[in-house]
Each structure stands twice: as C-alpha cells, then as structure tokens.
Amino acid sequence: MTRDLKAPLQALRNEHRYRSRRILEGPQQPEQVIDGRPVLAFCSNDYLGLANHPRVIQAFRQGVEAYGVGAGAAHLVNGHTRAHHALEDELAAFTGRDRALLFSTGYMANLGVAQALLRRGDRLFEDRLNHASLIDAAMISGARLSRYHHADAGDLARRLGKTAREEDRETFISTDAVFSMDGNLAPLEALASLADTHGCWLMADDAHGIGVLGERGAGTLEHLGLSQDQVPILMGTLGKALGTSGAFVAGPEDLIETLIQSARTYIYTTAMPAAVAEATRASLRIVQQEPERRGHLRDLVVQFREGSGQLGLELMESTTPIQPIVVGASERAVQWSDSLLQQGFLVPAIRPPTVPQGRARLRVTLSATHSRAQVDGLLQALGGLVGKP
C-alpha cells in the first residue's frame, strides 16, 4: 500500500510552511515581472548584477557560436573544452589556489568532496547552520558527524579534544563561510588554527562570499587574509555574485587530482556548457575591473541597516548583502511577505525547517543594481508593517 501524501502536504499548509513556486518573466534584475505582476525584487543572489550584464551575455553568445549549446559528455570523456580549462586556471589565480575544478552545481561539489576524501569511521565536524548540501555530504560520506554550536570555535575545540585522534582516520571540518540564512561570517581564523593544531582538513563553502567580499572580490578567505595552507579546500559557486551557473573547488594540486580521480559527482556528470564557462570568464573580469560595484553594494547594506534600526526591526548581525529581518512566527513572516508583495516588493518568508522554530524571517538580499531610492522604498513599506500582528 502506498503512503498517503495528501495529509503531510495539508499539514505544511496548516503550519504556514508550504512552499510555492513563482514564475519569472524576463532576466534577473531588480525590476521583474513575477506571476504576471511587476515587482521590485529583494531576493536574488545576483549580488553584483552580472546575470543580465551585456558583456556576460555577449560572451555567452560567442561561446555558443564556438562550442554549441551542450557539452555532450563528462569532463573525462570529451566534454572538457578549452573554455572550461581556461576558466579553471583563472579561478585558481583569482582565489590564490594551486588549481580549481569545475562542478555542475555547488551541491554536487560539496557531495563530491566529502565522498572523495572521507570514508566510514572518519570524523567530520560541521557548523549547526551549514547549508543542506554540506549536511547531505556528511550523510553520504559515512563519516561520524558532530555538529558544533553555530560559529562557536570554542565548542568545536571541546569536541575535537574529546575524541582521540586515530592515525588511520581523517578528521575534517567543514563550514559555510557566509551563512546563507543569517548573512554572518564563520570564525574561519579560529577554525584554521584548530585545524592546524589537530591535523584536520578545513573546507569553506564560500558560495555567498565569492565576488562580494575581499579587496578583489575573491571572497571571504581574501577578506580575512587566509591562505591555501590555512584553508586547503575552498568551494565557490558561479550562480550567485558571478551571475552564471555552476561551481568550483579550489585548492592544492593533489586535492584537485584526487577529486578528478574519485569524486563521483564530477566523474559521472555531463560538463556544464562551454558557453557558460565563457560567460563566467567575462564575469570574473568584471568583478576585478569594477570594484565600484562592491563599493555601492556595501553602501546599500549600511543604508538598509541604519534605516531598519530606526524602524526598530530585528536584523541579524550581517555586513553582507544578506539582511534577514527576524519576525518570529511562520504565519507572521508569510503575512509580512504577502503584504510587501501587494505593495510591489518581492521579499521571501523563510520558515522552519530552513531556520529554527520561532525564528522565521524575511530574507532581504541586496544587489549592486539596486538604487538608494529603491532601498528607501522598501524601508518605507517595512515601516508600515512595524507594530502589526
């Protein structure tokens, strides 16, 4: 007898946790048409506004003309083009790592690293608020998982100290560099020190830091001044600040060769289209040539935080483009999101299990293509919600 699926779906609706898709017409940009209505979107991870940049679009078109639409095969068959290879070299140089390796998605990159480097009985330590892909990576690795308190290097140190190291077992620490639902940074300097003391691998998932943080936009590790020796495994995505699609892992030569030989999510997956690689190469050049994009984005973050403070909104401690407003109950988060949509602002409600019970929130994300006037408009709309049940 098959399992009844209707009751669990209805329970999600009753608990205000039911998710629905919206249909976007047109490109990623602040002014959008969603479900047939014009809105001003404050929910995209296109932090630098590159997903619809003319130079990126032109590079993509030229890539299609040179390589066609599809890659046709995996990288290890005949899907690895000169465009892919050039992008890997440029990503390695950009992030200050020996080499980089492309993956189809960040999810697949995280799963591939865990599966290639860990085996049953190894020890894996993860931040409690890590992205779902890192948690799922732990499960497929077979390693013994211990989840330390969020951004708490002291708790991690205690957990590392309680477990005797076994010479034939790996010890691995993985963390988001920028936490996607909170917007804060991991204490990577302290984690790097612990990894060195205990002889651990340290992996940082910098999906939300690449392109945004650092003097050159090379991400959280550049922002904190951490080298490849201190953080050997860096994962970054291409579909957020870089505006395209896919992901990469960067690190030492032997790490990348091991992933090529052993990461199943790399070996058994068709390569991303070469045109996407060419578009990403154009994005990388813009990131490095136009630091004013990051400067404007930082200014918008300050503007939004100051305005939210004046309204008495509960913001989380974030200096990144991710600016969550904690409202508490899931029902209230949905009501606020719906009210903003009626006023022409698209701001999603984030509810359990994505965030803890009682900590539902509006996840505001800012982009370098937003204007100060648009941010003021959102603040004015939020001001009309303050004090409402």
Residue 19 marked as a ligand binder: yes
Three-state secondary structure string covering the chain: CCCCCHHHHHHHHHCCCCCCCCCEECCCCCEEEECCEEEEECCCCCCCCCCCCHHHHHHHHHHHHHHCCCCCCEHHHHHCCHHHHHHHHHHHHHHCCCEEEEECCHHHHHHHHHHHHCCCCCEEEEECCCCHHHHHHHHHHCCEEEEECCCCHHHHHHHHHHCCCCCCCCEEEEEECECCCCCCECCHHHHHHHHHHHCCEEEEECCCCCCCCCCCCCCHHHHHCCCCCCCCEEEEECCCCCCCCCEEEEECHHHHHHHHHHCHHHHCCECCCHHHHHHHHHHHHHHHHCCHHHHHHHHHHHHHHHHHHHHCCCECCCCCCEEEEEEECHHHHHHHHHHHHHCCEECCEECCCCCCCCCEEEEEECCCCCCHHHHHHHHHHHHCCCCCC
Residue 149 marked as a ligand binder: no
Residue 337 marked as a ligand binder: no
Q: For 73, list phi and psi in degrees, rounded to 5.
A: -160, 175
Residues with a catalytic annotation lie at: 180, 208, 240
Whole-angstrom distance, CA of residue 201 vs CA of residue 81: 31
Residue 85 marked as a ligand binder: no
* Contact between 249 and 113 (Cβ < 8 Å): yes
Residue 80 marked as a ligand binder: no
Residue 354 marked as a ligand binder: yes
Residue 131 marked as a ligand binder: yes
Contacts of residue 353, defined as CB under 8 A and 6 or more positions apart, other chains included, come to 17
Whole-angstrom distance, CA of residue 59 vs CA of residue 55: 6
Residue 208 marked as a ligand binder: yes
SS3 325: strand
* Contact between 66 and 60 (Cβ < 8 Å): no
Whole-angstrom distance, CA of residue 203 vs CA of residue 138: 13
* Contact between 101 and 266 (Cβ < 8 Å): yes
Annotated binding-site members = 19, 106-107, 131, 180, 208, 237, 354
Q: Specify binding-site residues for pyridoxal 5'-phosphate.
A: 106-107, 180, 208, 237
For the annotated binding site for substrate, the residues are 19, 131, 354
